[in-house]
Amino acid sequence: MKLAIIGANGQLGTDLLEVLSAEHDAIGLTHSDIEITDPDSVHKALTSLRPGIVLNTAAYNLVPDAEKFPEKAFQINGTGVLNLARVCQDLGIRLIHYSTDYVFDGKKQRPYTEDDCPNPLNVYAITKLTGEHFALNYSDHSTVIRVSGIYGKVPSRGKGGNFVTTMIRLAREKPEVRVVNDEILTPTPTYWIAQNTSALIKKGAGGLYHMSCEGECSWYEFAKTIWETLQLETPLYAASVLDFPLTVKRPFYSVLENKNLNKLGINQMPHWKEALKEFLKTFQ
């Protein structure tokens, strides 16, 4: 099957392209190939390619900046997805769109399933939830996948890195490192998201899915495992969110449960610690 992966040079897009190319005719599209905020660009690109599936990883994911530039965030995360959904619907293309754990407010304090009601706390999360609604309601053949704390071998283009690469850099540059221990999530490598996306494509199932590793941890526990695995010597200390300037509201708990993947019997996601240790072998 021919697949078009939008944002193919990004952190998630790179692994999707590599994994899905093993079984499909996967074509990577970057910003120079398609501008999702422009309906004409979307129509021209997808009419020319005629893929069976479009996978959209393009996003405005600079959370603090979204507070300053809400129109830009909404244009990419909201209107851009609407453009894709409309064109995919017209051309009979299946749309797979990636969203975020940040659509929840964290008050549940237990893993969120696809049945839980979102309540986004910041502009970024609101625009991502809007994109979910556009994907699911404007395209009959759509799938929305929520992910959490992603990291991959290619750093996030917008952020200039990911948590793992940032921690390794800080360990080299700083006399000590402090990481919050009161934000709980489930870090997930993009490789495993790509693998489980492949399984979901084979099932042909649409709708809403959570796709994160198993278990949960604080950012500090995540960092501590990096320190222990790579034997970093820089002192690492636990801190509170309140110790840092609060530029934007974030959920203190955003763990996802892969309920719908389990229903289909295709949940391949490993425990976050096992996945991290495997990933860190590339740094040893």
Per-residue confidence (pLDDT) for residue 161, from 0 to 100:
73
Q: Is 124 labeled as catalytic in the residue annotation?
A: yes
* Sequence letter at residue 227: W
Q: What is the mean pLDDT of residues 103-116?
A: 96
Q: Assess contact for 14 and 6: CB atoms under 8 A.
A: no
pLDDT grade, residue 284 (50/70/90)?
A: low
Residues linked to residue 150 through DSSP beta bridges, in sequence order: 188
Please indicate whether residue 134 or residue 244 has the higher confidence score (pLDDT): 134
Of 98, 112, 124, 220, catalytic = 124
Residue 231 DSSP code: T
Q: What is the mean pLDDT of residues 195-211?
A: 95
Residue 242 DSSP code: G
Q: Assess contact for 61 and 95: CB atoms under 8 A.
A: no
* Sequence letter at residue 213: C
pLDDT grade, residue 158 (50/70/90)?
A: low
Per-residue confidence (pLDDT) for residue 256, from 0 to 100:
98
Residue 103 DSSP code: G
pLDDT tens digits, one per residue of 119-139: 999 999 999 999 999 999 999
pLDDT grade, residue 76 (50/70/90)?
A: very high
pLDDT tens digits, one per residue of 47-70: 999 999 999 999 999 999 999 999
* Residues 199, 142: Cα–Cα separation, whole Å: 16
253 by Cβ neighbours in 10 Å (0-12 / 13-18 / 19+) ranks as buried
Per-residue confidence (pLDDT) for residue 153, from 0 to 100:
87
pTM of the model: 0.94
Per-residue confidence (pLDDT) for residue 242, from 0 to 100:
82
Cα separation values, 41 from 31, 32, 83, 93, 97, Å: 11, 10, 10, 16, 18
Q: What is the mean pLDDT of residues 185-194?
A: 97
Q: Assess contact for 99 and 145: CB atoms under 8 A.
A: yes
Q: Domains for the chain: give ranges and CATH numbers.
A: 2-173+180-218+247-283 (3.40.50.720)
Q: Assess contact for 28 and 9: CB atoms under 8 A.
A: yes
Per-residue confidence (pLDDT) for residue 109, from 0 to 100:
92
**Phi, psi for 18 (deg, rounded to 5):** -70, -45
pLDDT tens digits, one per residue of 14-55: 999 999 999 999 999 999 999 999 999 999 999 999 999 999
